[in-house]
């Protein structure tokens, strides 16, 4: 496609297309020369007084002039085109522009083209400043607190299985749980979510961030003790809801996501 940037190029191309449209009929009219015999015959037919000729009510020239002047507005070639972009169509004749040449100010804009709101973040998302802020819009602090509460119940139960206290069996908190979610999320970003923990914590091949955040034993223990609901009422809730173990957190996640749309 050919791009027309300057005003001179646009005006020259529009004038060329208008000239081709106005004179296309005359160029296609292949009139052959009138011979001598035909000329004599025409003179005999038209030898009568010119006043006796019938007037033609269907004056095509007049209709053409009215159509051009009244119904087909001509583009203003001297209008400001500094903020307008032009492109020649595939047919090598049609010129497209991102701004109408002759906008019809009396017509209404279709409802589907009306912008009712500006695109961008909504509500609390407008105050987010970094990746963690955006992540917490979906996994809120209230959701994390509930997960910590139910997880600590399971941690206390599992800690009883060890005869001696272990450093990796201590209760967790909101900060550590967010770090755990960050490691799981980061493993997906690195496309290493299918690797074993031994590979993730390898000093030779594993990403250093995993070893810097928490030990492998602590990560394994937290993953095995992670809970999202109260274990004391789960049996009763399972009778009517097979998704009871994650239902409360899931409903809150759906609500927060819907509010951001």
For residue 136, give both structure tokens: 């917490």
Would the pTM count as exceeding 0.75? Answer: no
For residue 244, give both structure tokens: 């009871």
pLDDT confidence bin for 179, thresholds 50/70/90: very high
Q: Give the Cβ contact number of residue 222 at 10 Å.
A: 19
pLDDT for 69 beyond 50 = no
- The rounded distance, in Å, linking the Cα atoms of 166 and 185 is 27
Of 141, 140, 125, 161, which Cα lies nearest the Cα of 261?
125
pLDDT for 115 beyond 80 = no
Per-residue burial over 111-150, b if 16 or more Cβ lie within 10 Å, else e, is eeeeeeeeeeeeeeeeeeeeeeeeebbebeeebbebbbeb
Question: For residue 102, what pLDDT is reported?
Answer: 58
Residue with the bigger pLDDT between 118 and 27: it is 118
DSSP at 70:
I
- The rounded distance, in Å, linking the Cα atoms of 200 and 195 is 7
Residue with the bigger pLDDT between 210 and 22: it is 210
Tell me what percent of the residues of the chain surpass a pLDDT of 70.
69
- The rounded distance, in Å, linking the Cα atoms of 44 and 41 is 5
Residue with the bigger pLDDT between 75 and 147: it is 147
Residue extents of the structural domains in the chain: 3-100, 126-260
pLDDT per position as a tens digit, 32-62? 444 445 555 445 545 554 444 445 555 444 4
Range scoring the smallest mean pLDDT among 38-47, 226-235, 247-256: 38-47
């Amino acid at each position: 496609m050919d791009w027309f940037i300057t005003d001179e190029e646009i005006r020259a191309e529009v004038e060329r297309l208008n000239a081709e449209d106005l004179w296309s009929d005359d160029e296609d009219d292949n009139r052959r020369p009138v011979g001598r015999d035909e000329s004599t015959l025409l003179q005999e037919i038209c030898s009568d007084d010119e006043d006796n000729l019938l007037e033609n009510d269907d004056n095509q020239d007049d209709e053409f002039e009215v159509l051009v002047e009244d119904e087909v507005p001509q583009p203003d070639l001297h209008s400001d085109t500094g903020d307008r972009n032009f492109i020649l169509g595939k047919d090598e004749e049609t010129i497209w522009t991102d701004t109408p040449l002759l906008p019809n100010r009396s017509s209404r804009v279709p409802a589907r083209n009306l912008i009712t709101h500006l695109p961008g973040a909504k509500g609390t998302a407008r105050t987010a400043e970094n990746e963690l802020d955006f992540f917490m819009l979906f996994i809120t602090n209230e959701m994390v607190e509930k997960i910590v509460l139910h997880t600590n119940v399971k941690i206390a139960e599992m800690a009883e299985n060890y005869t001696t206290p272990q450093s990796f069996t201590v209760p967790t908190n909101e900060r550590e749980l967010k770090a755990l979610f960050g490691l799981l999320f980061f493993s997906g970003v690195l496309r290493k979510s299918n690797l074993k923990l031994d590979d993730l914590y390898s000093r030779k091949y594993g990403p250093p961030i995993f070893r810097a955040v928490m030990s492998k034993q602590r990560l394994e223990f937290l993953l095995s003790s992670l809970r999202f609901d109260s274990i004391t009422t789960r049996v009763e809730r399972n009778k009517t809801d097979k998704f009871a173990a994650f239902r409360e957190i899931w409903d809150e996640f759906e609500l927060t996501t819907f509010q951001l749309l």
